[in-house]
Structure 1
Amino acid sequence: MIEVVRPGPLATVQDLGRPGYAHLGVPRSGAADAPSLRLANRLVGNPEGAAGIEFTLGGAVLRFRSPAWISVTGAPLDVRLDGRPHGMNAPVHVPEGGVLHLGAPTRGLRSYLAVRGGLTCEKTLGSRSTDLLSRLGPPPLAPGTRLTFGGTDAPMAVDHAPVPVLPDAPVLRVVPGPRDDWFAPDALSVLTSAPYTVTPTGNRVGVRLEGPALVRAREGELASEGMVTGALQVPPNGNPILFLTDHPTTGGYPVLAVVRTHDLPLAAQLRPGVTVRFRLS
């Protein structure tokens, strides 16, 4: 069992989400940076979709009431077990009573902890993921939360996994959106010609950006229509919102462009204050 001593700014249980329910208004949810969760699970011999913990800006303290194998991946941060430093992207054995401290990331936003056997909280619609928008799944972790985990006989075959460094100036590839005709002819050129700054008001639903305004060519609003993860929805003020995993399944603001699926994990690591560029591909 794991006891949460301090969760940090935001810590939630996440697996790979609950696909297939958008027609019921339920987002997929799941780990915002899915490759990082997949890697954490592989390192401790779990199936890639086992539930772990997603930490936003680190700052957590966990006490292990029973021994466990863990791994920490994603945004790089200081990992200390009983005061001793340990590396990320590698399995770590935690003894009974061990206390794990996670610092703040030096870059990026979200880090992941997998425990061998996977977290075993109750499933909702086939997933253990916390969905902040729909309020499905377990609530965000709080001091005193206790988490149980299972067991597995699967081998642990990797002792360390090298990962690329998160870029200081990320570039996200986009394709034109379904409503690019709602914007001025140069809107895509504006989007891809200057950096946008990540504001502090984003969350797992979406990243709010500030930069050159994306001017509309039409008045009024659309009737609500389906939305996808990675959509760049543009409200009347012209500053785009990049939808992440807990985004609503419908929306009424026009979508100028959509971030390519391969770049969504990088989008999930955008922290407030950084600048991001977009490139048509």
Structure 2
Amino acid sequence: MSLTDTRVDVFIAETPATQQAAAVAVSSGAPVPTLARRIDVLRPGMQTTVQDWPGRIGYWHIGVPPSGPMDDLSFRLGNRVLGNPEGAAGLECTLGGPALRFSETTWVCVTGAVADVRVDGHPVEQWRTIEVPAGGVLDIGAIRGPGMRTYILVSGGIDVEQFLGSAATFTLGKFGGGTGAALRADESLTLGEPARRRAPAVPMADIPAFGHRWELAVTEGPHGAPEFFTRTDFDTILGTDYEVHFNSDRTGVRLIGPKPEWARTDGGEAGLHPSNIHDNAYSIGALDFTGDTPILLGPDGPSLGGFVCPVTVVAADRWKLGQLTPGDKVRFVPIRADHAAPAHELGAHRRASFGTVLSAGRDGDDGILRRTAVDDETGVTYRRQGDDGVLVEYGTLTLDLGLRARVHALHQHLIEAGPRGVVELTPGIRSLQIRVDPAVLPIDQLLDLLAEAEAQLPNSDQLVVPSRTVHLPLSWDDPSTREAITRYMHGVRADAPWCPWNIEFIRRMNGLASVEDVYRTVFDAEYLVLGLGDVYLGAPVATPTDPRHRLVTTKYNPARTWTPENAVGIGGAYLCIYGMEGPGGYQFVGRTTQVWNHRARPSGAAGPGVDRFATDAETPWLLRYFDRIRWHPVEAGELLDLRADFAAGKVDVTVEDGEFRLADYRRFLADNAPAIADFRAVQAEAFAAERQSWRTAGELAD
């Protein structure tokens, strides 16, 4: 028999070298090398992504969310029944699934929301292990509901390149999943070695129940009544059936519900609306009020922001966020934090009997776990963030770099101490978020550990930290920001006080004579970076070191649904560079170059709050805590050229080394106190006038 008479099924090899080896083997009569098990994508589905669990942990402090399956319960149950590790990479399908051809006989399990599932055209059951033959096609049709997402788990898992220690796809950040995007037709996915053991099906008792009315177990805090919300507000939040808005996704689930009365008239230096606070770290599952709009933050949500969150969904119930569908009803059920089911359990402890959330009452402490004093002038408040987090907050609701210094000292102390059970450390303006595994480090033990730490921290005046000056271009009033305002007016709100021109609104709020004064103030200022990840991917939240340069504004209400990548905005007294395209709420002043290098390809996991790559030339994020940003003007066309160069790897940023000394800074404030007071008086008068006009127009309660 001739070679041309011999039928050899050879699938596409992973590399040219492997292809060549296969060809040589066939021509010589030698055995054909074993090629990788794989899936070919015939139809990608509406939004199908590779995810693993728990996702990308250790980078919350620089604005990288964990991603991972939005419904981790369905995902992990499917992996477990196949004999995979619970976190093995699989596929998440939203609204409708893909058609996939398997190169070899493979066991799969399809879980999550009800969908039409077929193998070679024959219907098969979900929640069972199903054998797909070699060359067979698994087809996931439209999701019939209830529920929003279906999961495809495969024996051996999906083997793709990891980014920052995870295979999870973060489409907004353009990384993970091998391509940084949802599946596309004609691409292939490599599979890992198949598991040796499997079960026939997920036990009926463990399968979650889906519906169109959901009860979410929540804990109080971090921002409760009567500080931020009235008692009536809180009763309304816990006594209302909210409706899921159509504009919901993996970043957050928007809800439709009553407008709060609010316990405050405004947010002070944090912004005009009473929902505004000095930026702090969020928790996944937090009910975030962006203005009057409630949003449940998802696994692709922002790590840092300046809005209040009255309740937080406990870890064991966060899977439900992945199945909330537009039009569904949501009721928040308060439970005691110490009665929350363990999130790592998948059996009876996590069984989701729809319509019944076992409640052991509520904590009734307004989200405050403990209060104490650092010294005669500074207090510390420990706020609950779900059943797996604490927000340590220093001082009063003011912008004080001395408070940020205290946060830095605690942050560094905990990094060096490395207590077991700490998962993430994320600094804010006057706060430090500490996320833990409560099975390893219970919250009450964490509070005792923090009390011991306070006694060991140095005096804030001793703070001396590296502080580089980073020179960045700014396209003032850039056309892309004008487009974002236009989109907002057409699609969200046309009558907002900051429309049609954010810069004029900034001028008015600060009592400046002209928009040229806004321009000069921004370009004269030196912005000190106080946090990273304010709207993702190393995006800084910064404030001018000189209070006379601190332009105070409010944030959009409702927030924008679209913001161009690297837009520059001001909200409250803070400036932010948006790390990527997405939602947002700060008032635009322009646009700059990238602050995240997509060409950098570090791998591995970082410790909690540690800048693993901070001294590495390949770090993806450009800025560091306590850097100083100085702007220089460029034209819009010139900025586009600079952005193209950056994207091509030609990063040309001028950086000067230096240091920040808090004691020196406080002397500067004392020396310039009269001039600073004069500036603030004019600003306060304009701010009060704007607030009164909002009250007259019904924007604020009396």
Instruction: Establish whether TM, by shorter chain, passes 0.5.
Output: yes
| Distance of 1:225 and 1:168 partners within structure 2 | 33
| Distance of 2:129 and 2:193 partners within structure 1 | 15
Structure 1 residue 2 corresponds to structure 2 residue 39 = yes
Counterpart position of 1:169: 213
| Distance of 2:236 and 2:279 partners within structure 1 | 25
Counterpart position of 2:323: 269
Give the stretch that moved more between structures: 107-116 or 57-66.
57-66
| Distance of 2:172 and 2:303 partners within structure 1 | 10
Q: Contact 2:217 / 2:332 at 8 angstroms: preserved in 1?
A: yes
State the SS of the aligned residue for 1:165: coil
User: C-alpha offsets along residues 33-81 of structure 1, whole Å, 9 cap, x if unaligned?
Assistant: 1111111111222111100000011242222233211110111212111
Correspondence list, 1:239-278, <5 A:
239-278=293-332
Counterpart position of 2:514: none
State the SS of the aligned residue for 1:63: strand
Q: Contact 1:173 / 1:278 at 8 angstroms: preserved in 2?
A: yes
State the SS of the aligned residue for 2:115: coil
Counterpart position of 2:94: 56
Q: Which has the higher helix share?
A: 2
Q: Contact 2:84 / 2:157 at 8 angstroms: preserved in 1?
A: yes
Structure 1 residue 160 displacement after superposition: 4.4
Q: Contact 1:133 / 1:205 at 8 angstroms: preserved in 2?
A: no
CA root-mean-square deviation: 1.5
Counterpart of 1:234 (choices 278, 282, 289) is 289
- Structure 2, unaligned stretches of length 5 or more? 1-37, 336-702
Correspondence list, 1:117-156, <5 A:
117-138=156-177, 139-156=181-198
User: C-alpha offsets along residues 222-274 of structure 1, whole Å, 9 cap, x if unaligned?
Assistant: 121101111111011x2200011111111111111111112111122101111
Correspondence list, 1:16-31, <5 A:
16=53, 17-31=55-69
Structure 1 residue 15 corresponds to structure 2 residue 68 = no
State the SS of the aligned residue for 1:252: strand
Counterpart position of 1:195: 241
| Distance of 1:59 and 1:121 partners within structure 2 | 20
Higher Rg of the two aligned structures: 2
| Distance of 2:261 and 2:187 partners within structure 1 | 47
Counterpart of 2:222 (choices 164, 178, 186) is 178
Give the stretch that moved more between structures: 1-10 or 195-204.
1-10
State the SS of the aligned residue for 1:182: coil
Amino acid at match of 2:59: Y
User: C-alpha offsets along residues 94-119 of structure 1, whole Å, 9 cap, x if unaligned?
Assistant: 11221121122221011111111110
Structure 1 residue 208 corresponds to structure 2 residue 254 = yes
Correspondence list, 1:25-44, <5 A:
25-44=63-82
Counterpart position of 2:22: none
Structure 1 residue 158 displacement after superposition: 3.7
Give the stretch that moved more between structures: 197-206 or 218-227.
218-227
Amino acid at match of 1:252: G
Structure 1 residue 147 displacement after superposition: 0.6
Identity within the alignment, %: 41
Structure 1 residue 87 corresponds to structure 2 residue 141 = no
| Distance of 1:59 and 1:30 partners within structure 2 | 17
Q: Contact 1:39 / 1:48 at 8 angstroms: preserved in 2?
A: yes
Q: Contact 1:37 / 1:114 at 8 angstroms: preserved in 2?
A: yes
Amino acid at match of 2:171: L
Counterpart position of 1:224: 279
| Distance of 1:132 and 1:232 partners within structure 2 | 23
Counterpart position of 2:418: none
Distance 1:159 1:230, change over 3 A: closer
Give the stretch that moved more between structures: 66-75 or 164-173.
164-173
Distance 1:179 1:117, change over 3 A: same
| Distance of 2:208 and 2:68 partners within structure 1 | 22
Give the stretch that moved more between structures: 94-103 or 159-168.
159-168
Amino acid at match of 2:175: L
Distance 1:255 1:153, change over 3 A: closer
Give the stretch that moved more between structures: 216-225 or 72-81.
216-225
Q: Contact 2:109 / 2:154 at 8 angstroms: preserved in 1?
A: yes
| Distance of 2:297 and 2:136 partners within structure 1 | 38
Structure 1 residue 134 displacement after superposition: 3.0
- Structure 1, unaligned stretches of length 5 or more? none
Q: Contact 1:214 / 1:234 at 8 angstroms: preserved in 2?
A: no
Q: Contact 1:184 / 1:216 at 8 angstroms: preserved in 2?
A: yes
State the SS of the aligned residue for 1:172: strand
Q: Contact 2:82 / 2:195 at 8 angstroms: preserved in 1?
A: no
Q: Contact 2:97 / 2:141 at 8 angstroms: preserved in 1?
A: yes
User: C-alpha offsets along residues 15-41 of structure 1, whole Å, 9 cap, x if unaligned?
Assistant: 010112212221111111111111111
| Distance of 2:121 and 2:194 partners within structure 1 | 28
Counterpart position of 1:45: 83
| Distance of 1:136 and 1:256 partners within structure 2 | 32
Q: Contact 1:29 / 1:130 at 8 angstroms: preserved in 2?
A: yes
After TM superposition, which residue ranges in structure 1, 4 or more long, deviate above 6 angstroms?
none
Counterpart position of 1:75: 113
| Distance of 1:31 and 1:276 partners within structure 2 | 20
| Distance of 1:193 and 1:159 partners within structure 2 | 38
State the SS of the aligned residue for 1:35: helix
Structure 1 residue 153 displacement after superposition: 4.6
State the SS of the aligned residue for 1:80: strand
Amino acid at match of 1:117: G
Distance 1:160 1:226, change over 3 A: closer
Structure 1 residue 6 displacement after superposition: 1.9
| Distance of 1:95 and 1:154 partners within structure 2 | 17
Give the stretch that moved more between structures: 200-209 or 166-175.
166-175
| Distance of 1:51 and 1:272 partners within structure 2 | 27
Amino acid at match of 2:322: A
State the SS of the aligned residue for 1:42: helix
Give the stretch that moved more between structures: 116-125 or 176-185.
176-185
Q: Number of matched residues?
A: 280
